[in-house]
Structure 1
Amino acid sequence: MTQKHESTKLEQSLYGLMAYRELTTFERLSSDARFSPTLADRAALAKLAVTEYGHFELACDELTAAGRDPEAVMEPFMEIIDELHERTRPGDWYESLMKAYVLDAVSADFYRVAAERLSEQARLLARRIQELDEQSAWLTERLRADIDDERLRSRLALWGRRLLGEALTKARFVLDTTDLGALFGDEERKELFADLIRKHSRRMAALKLTA
């Protein structure tokens, strides 16, 4: 297998990961809207869900343009991501928002670092999917508005740590069991996970929560 062919295969695997992750995030946000305390909150969460579905379509379009069946490329990641969502079911509105705040950002960080090892096209797609400014701003504002209560703050800080732990565990599993593991050597993996943790800590600090 030529180096170019291997790179193309890895790039398409990344698109498959992106596509399925974004699809399940759309489904999760749509479902979690039921926790919304107000109609405005429900509408805002629905808007975020629509954005995630758009990201899913972007990744699928890249795969289709390359002559690949998106469903087949997503398949290796389905069980991993489904289990992540199963293990991180939110219990209420606040946990749902924190899940979106943590997991979406960690995933986008992972996409970016992986895409840096691939083509410019992959990097552009990762950046488009990483465009979370509006989403992050709303989530940050909405969480800040309601976490003055010390008991809630403690609960969300603990939930955030659990979410990060689950996300990192699944990211390691992706690298250990799929083609994407070829993108990172041992030291690069250590650097990747250290970077993911640092960025998570900064995001938690923005909420004035302990990482």
Structure 2
Amino acid sequence: MVAGRRAGAVRLTPRGSRALPSYVWSVGARPVTLPLIRHEPPADRETARTERSHAARAKSAALRAASVCHHVERHEAPEHVVWKATHAARVSLQALAVLSESAPDPAADSRCARNAAAAAAQAAQMGQLHDGESETAVAACRAALGASQAASAAAGRAGLGVDEALNTAADEAEAAAVAAAERAGWMRPGQRLPEMSAGLRSPELMAMMHF
């Protein structure tokens, strides 16, 4: 494990004026618990804030995806819906694992957060497909897509993970996606999810999560 990252259970904690809710969860194939992100003391407060932003968004997006997966499983959705939601959840968890296990890098971390949010948006589409055209399901899917787009902008060429305005917009979009998912009944604050496999993690797949 790279210096600067320490092992432990993942926990989302409130932060900032637009704090993301706190969730406790774990995933594992054997099982394995994802490491808690611990950075060496950053050079300045802005760097620390940027690192926390990407990490918290990636964790939150992965939890949204896993929550939708368990939602459609519990309600016995059609097999193809469950399969696609499960695949999306695993991709989001893989992106979070790469971020957790890599040395801090704003651009790379923002791309991991982007990939987690994109997978969460795919899971949300399965949630809406199962729930139908209910107002809350449609709104949750739309919010998930918005979070994915905002995370993509923060990680894009214009932001490269260090643009404060784009990072703030992505944080706010993620918080909105969480709130919408809660209203749709896909997740709730403080929930603890069953362990879920992140699937196979080849070096090639892990490298792709940074791009």
Name the TM tier (shorter chain).
Answer: 0.3 to 0.5
Output the TM-score relative to the length of structure 1: 0.36
Larger Rg: 1
Output the TM-score relative to the length of structure 2: 0.36
